[in-house]
Amino acid sequence: MTPKVLEHLKTDEFAVKFGFISNPAAVRRLLLKSNEIADVRRALNQGEISEGSVRTFVNDLVKDFRSGEHFPHDSALSAIAVSLEYRATPFADEFINDLASLRIAELGHSVHIARECKKNRKHLSRTTTKYFILKSKPFEKNGLRFEEFIVPSNPGTLTKNYVVNDYQFGKAA
Amino acid sequence: MPSFEYFLVAESASIDQLSNRISLFHVLEEFKIPEFPFNIHKLVAVSSWNWEEGDDEVDFQSMVSVSVPGKEEPTIVTTNFQMDCERRRVLNYFFDLDLECPGELKFELLLNGESQAHHVVSVKEIDSAEL
């Protein structure tokens, strides 16, 4: 079941509130001040809804896409973009960047609003993280002796990458 | 080229998903080690860079050179990034660092090959009775 705060974004009542303004920057500002966006942000912050449920909601919206017809949930997409704008998460990046890069006539304001959001996200501090396993002593693995090596790895799959990358980055003696 | 803001080595770091604020835990100053060799399970080198005019769509490479006491050659790791934001943090986690003897554990930060900062951790041998 779609959470109430998201479901409301699909309503005509919500769409007509912002539909008459043509300037994407102005729509974004209005959305930022709206109670509906505040509710979605609060729900995300407090864990009432997850980014996963937002993704599911968006996937459901996209099912109503028809080529050559105006997309009926354009306002909802705009609202999601503005709701995610301040979040420094991979999902927020993916959603806003993907929407901002679209060039299809069926979508109206949402693409332009996503571009506004993308511009404003430049103010967010961003983080690049890399993982390395270091060994200064000779080390044996899979029958190979490694004199020294650096293994970049992902935190969740440390063991898997450790083995795979031995061959790529290690120096076999 | 982005301007350098800070460089620190700590036991761990955390970024709050909600506020996007970074916290560093236990900034490293010295290790007191009763017996060598000693294995440091995990540490993190954190650097921060500020966007400057002309940085858009340019690839930058930060390097952290790790000099371990008793070892002649430093280990160098690289991280590529773009300044698509006003401030970029680079977190380099290191696992399984072996210390063989006392001395200086030195982390040097370079950007596109130019030295920017360093962080030195003293590695001292102490009597286990002092622990």
Q: Give a yes or no: residue A129 inside a domain.
A: no
The answer to whether the CB atoms of A122 and B84 lie below 8 A apart is: yes
Write down the pLDDT at residue A96.
96
Q: Are residues A112 and A160 in the same domain?
A: no
Is the CB of residue A156 less than 8 Å away from at least one CB of chain B?
Answer: no
- Estimate to the nearest angstrom the gap between the alpha carbon of B99 and the chain centroid: 16
The DSSP bridge pattern shows strands B30-33 and B114-125 to be parallel
- Estimate to the nearest angstrom the gap between the alpha carbon of B6 and the chain centroid: 11
Q: Are residues A117 and A166 in the same domain?
A: no
Report the residue of A50, A89, A93, A128 to disrupt the B interface, i.e. the one with the largest count of B CBs within 10 Å. A128
Q: Are residues A111 and A36 in the same domain?
A: yes
- The answer to whether B111 and B60 are in contact (CB under 8 A) is yes
* CA–CA separation, A109 and A91 (whole Å): 21
Q: Are residues A19 and A96 in the same domain?
A: yes
Q: B65: domain CATH number?
A: 2.60.40.3880
Which two structure tokens, joined as six digits, stand for A69?
Answer: 């017809």
Is the CB of residue B24 less than 8 Å away from at least one CB of chain A?
Answer: no
Nearest of A65, A67, A95, A98 to residue A81 by alpha carbon: A95
Q: Are residues A17 and A86 in the same domain?
A: yes
Q: Are residues A120 and A138 in the same domain?
A: no
- The answer to whether B59 and B80 are in contact (CB under 8 A) is yes
Q: Are residues A76 and A39 in the same domain?
A: yes
The answer to whether the CB atoms of A132 and B18 lie below 8 A apart is: no
pLDDT surpassing 60 at residue A153: no
Q: Could you say which of A124, A135, A136 has the minimum Cβ distance to residue B85?
A: A124
Q: What is the pLDDT of residues A14-72, one digit of tens each?
A: 887 776 677 889 989 999 999 999 999 999 988 999 999 999 999 999 999 999 998 99
* CA–CA separation, A117 and A114 (whole Å): 5
pLDDT surpassing 80 at residue A146: no
Q: Give a yes or no: residue A164 inside a domain.
A: yes
Structurally, chain B folds into a number of domains equal to: 1
pTM of the model as a whole: 0.74
Domain ranges, residue A155: 134-172
Q: Are residues A91 and A151 in the same domain?
A: no
Q: Are residues A31 and A111 in the same domain?
A: yes
- The answer to whether A73 and A11 are in contact (CB under 8 A) is no
Q: Are residues A98 and A151 in the same domain?
A: no
Domain ranges, residue B42: 3-130
